[in-house]
Chain A
């Protein structure tokens, strides 16, 4: 069964600190992995997208890594800001269908305190 598991479920950090969120997946055949940020009451917004051949990708203070062999990804947030408080969702796409089906994790709820 294709699954995406994220950890931790929730995380509280102080403003200015760094943090790392984890994602493990079993989706096969793998196409790409993306991290989304979802603010409360809003739709998800894409942060990074990585294919099989990409090990790391950055978007400002967000850096995602991918190990396709172990089927693990991480999202590292540097120098956190209050506006980083949101749910971060790991999403994996398969290449076995014309739809390009997406498999969603439940997200990590990040809270940044001043």
Chain B
């Protein structure tokens, strides 16, 4: 199993609250990603990073923001949570220059906004 961790695993929160989803990896990977996944649907890339101080938006528009101050840490923040943000959020990482760009996924955070 890959060394990539996400906390919390489950979060139920009220509308308007600010939340931060944590993601850490101990593999020294340069690339990190955030995906959003609704039940029965495909994963959608919402943010990615090539390395420290690099962040880019993905294919799916998201009101969340990310930061990459340290190689191992890639937190995602929602300034004001809304019910439409209810979803599963998956973090992943991959090694720069790897043959297959294989991504290793964390266990996910299931977010419910009431």
Q: Contact between B101 and A106 (Cβ–Cβ < 8 Å)?
A: no
The docked-state distance in angstroms from the alpha carbon of A105 to that of B43 is 8
Q: Which of B9, B44, B100, B104 contacts A32 (CB 8 A)?
A: B100
Q: Contact between B105 and A44 (Cβ–Cβ < 8 Å)?
A: yes
Asked if B41 lies at the interface with its beta carbon under 8 angstroms from chain A, I say: yes
* Number of interchain pairs (Cβ within 8 Å): 54
A8 vs chain B, min Cβ distance (A): 13
Q: Contact between A45 and B103 (Cβ–Cβ < 8 Å)?
A: no
How many residues on B have C-beta within 8 angstroms of the other chain's C-beta atoms?
Answer: 26
Q: Contact between A45 and B100 (Cβ–Cβ < 8 Å)?
A: no
How many residues on A have C-beta within 8 angstroms of the other chain's C-beta atoms?
Answer: 24
Closest residue of B by beta carbon distance from A46: B102
B residues bordering A, Cβ < 8 Å? 1, 4, 6, 9, 31, 40-45, 48, 90-92, 94, 100-108, 110
Q: Contact between A49 and B108 (Cβ–Cβ < 8 Å)?
A: no
B58 vs chain A, min Cβ distance (A): 9
Q: Contact between A43 and B100 (Cβ–Cβ < 8 Å)?
A: no
A94 vs chain B, min Cβ distance (A): 10
Closest residue of A by beta carbon distance from B105: A43
Q: Contact between A93 and B43 (Cβ–Cβ < 8 Å)?
A: no
Main SS class of interface, A: strand
The docked-state distance in angstroms from the alpha carbon of A41 to that of B107 is 7
The docked-state distance in angstroms from the alpha carbon of A93 to that of B108 is 22
The 11 sampled A-B contact pairs (Cβ below 8 Å) are A4-B42, A41-B9, A41-B110, A42-B107, A43-B92, A89-B42, A99-B31, A100-B94, A101-B45, A105-B42, A109-B40
The docked-state distance in angstroms from the alpha carbon of A45 to that of B103 is 9
Q: Contact between A45 and B42 (Cβ–Cβ < 8 Å)?
A: no
Q: Contact between A43 and B102 (Cβ–Cβ < 8 Å)?
A: no
Closest 5 CB pairs of A and B: A43-B105, A100-B101, A104-B42, A104-B43, A106-B42
Max chain A CB contacts within 10 Å: which of B4, B100, B104?
B100
Binary flags per residue of A86-114, CB closer than 8 Å to B gives 1, else 0: 00010001000001111011110100000
Q: Contact between A99 and B48 (Cβ–Cβ < 8 Å)?
A: yes
Residues of B within 8 A of A102 (CB): 43, 45, 103
